[in-house]
Homo-oligomer: A and B are copies of this chain.
Amino acid sequence: MRYKKAILQSVKYLLLQTILFAMKDTESINNHLTNPLLKGLGESDTLAINERSKKLIAEGKKVYRFGLGQSPFPVPERVVEALRLHAPQKDYLPVKGLPILRETVAEFHRKKDGISAQADGVLIGPGSKELVFLLQLVFRGDIIVVSPCWVSYIPQARILGKKISIIRSSYEHKWQLTPALFQDFLEKRIDKEKPALLILNYPGNPDGVSFYESELREIASLARKNKIFILSDEIYGQLNHKGNHLSIGKYYPEGTIISSGLSKWCGAGGWRLGTFTFPKELYWLCDKMAIVASETYTSVSAPIQYAAISAFKGGIKIEEYLWNVRKILSSIGNESAKMLQAAGIKVHDPVGGFYLFLDFSNFQDQLHEIDIYTSKELCTKLLDETGVAILHGSSFSRPKKEFSARMAYVDFDGTRALAAAKTIPLSEPLPEEFNKTYCAKILEGVKQITKWVKDL
């Protein structure tokens, strides 16, 4: 009897070990079978928080979705109409894009940014993210980004096995690259002759701020002097709240690639169309990117490209749309910032786009007391206790233990808000109760945050 039991136990043990071994084996085979550069990479954090929020909502919880940065506004009606009209377009379009769209995008930048863009220098891609990836793949040299920076620059470099240099900014520097920070970085650079590409993003994601003209001039001058190319990611350019976005391309035309697209100002993130605009001096980079494009995405969806013409062409209807969108974003962005500031959270007044980058450092002691040491822990706790989803600062390459996070103020019905804003003359500000009526959830979520820090 005792033997039987012992044998049974041995058999059980062996079975368990075999199963564990098999599991371990499968896992290690799978790691062995995939590109080691991908190790540790997960789905991009913005998308991950979006899917997590959806799950909580499905469970019946009220969630303030301040995580994903998607425009709340509908695509302008005439642009949607253009897509309907061109739905039967089925031909493969040229790799660099539909010629008339490329010309329209060039004209858009000539008018809006005062640069001398030409159709030949425009590259159309399935989102500017894909174009940034291709640029990183093609360009041989260092990539320089400014922290906090958009979530995808660094993972893209990792996938490609590229070196990336990070210039750390801070709340005091408006989270931006200042000429002084840039100068300091350039002086400390070991191989000063090595080709390099600096990526700037303004109005910024995650910070919502932008540059003064004097800063752009100084950064441009430093870049020129040090032969550093600039990828100027201006995807939020048309969402400068005052409509007076300035591009560094104006001050450093020969070395600047301007990135734009339909995703933010045109509310068409899901349509997937981004643009890069190169100066003549950098057409060789555009050409190399097109070669890779021809072996990967081929060309951007034809009906989408035809529809995009009407968006970039602009006109009075599009300008009206943009002004109303800016008024709403400015109104709710500023009220949110004021409330957060009053509660002791450090945050700059927004200049453009739809983000605020929050610094909870004033609450460091209280957070440590409840065993919260990282921005990720902070955001998880906040989500669990208040339903407010914001994206932890470490997603934007901030130090893990810095209590920073990005809030996107887009969780409201953009169609409804836009319809209401349209009834008010463009030259007049929105009435005081506008935010409460049309962006109530933002105010409510912000209140949840301020209450939460107060109770810490």
| A interface residue numbers (CB < 8 A to B) | 30, 32-36, 38, 41-44, 47, 50-51, 68, 70-71, 74-75, 80-81, 83-84, 87-95, 126-127, 129-130, 133, 137-141, 152, 155-156, 159, 195, 267-273, 284-285, 288, 290-292, 294-304, 307
Contact = CB atoms under 8 A, between A and B. Distances in A.
B33 A83 contact: no
Nearest to A262: B90
Given A137-B35, A285-B34, A87 B94 contact: no
Nearest to A94: B51
Contacts of A84: 83-84, 87
Contacts of A267: 90
Given A126-B301, A129-B296, A159-B295, 20 more contacts: A30-B284, A34-B139, A34-B285, A35-B137, A43-B294, A44-B295, A47-B92, A47-B95, A74-B88, A81-B87, A83-B87, A87-B307, A127-B298, A130-B298, A152-B295, A155-B295, A159-B292, A301-B301, A303-B303, A303-B304
B291 A42 contact: yes
Nearest to A292: B159
A126 B274 CA distance: 14
A414 B270 CA distance: 31
Contacts of A126: 126, 272, 297, 301
Contacts of A32: 140, 195
B35 A140 contact: yes
Contacts of A35: 137-140, 288
A155 B295 CA distance: 7
A408 to B, nearest CB: 13
19 contacts: A33-B195, A33-B285, A38-B291, A38-B292, A41-B295, A43-B290, A43-B291, A44-B295, A68-B92, A70-B92, A89-B270, A91-B269, A126-B272, A129-B295, A137-B159, A159-B292, A270-B302, A272-B299, A272-B301
A284 to B, nearest CB: 5
A87 B88 contact: no
A34 B80 contact: no
Given A159-B137, A271-B303, A129 B298 contact: yes
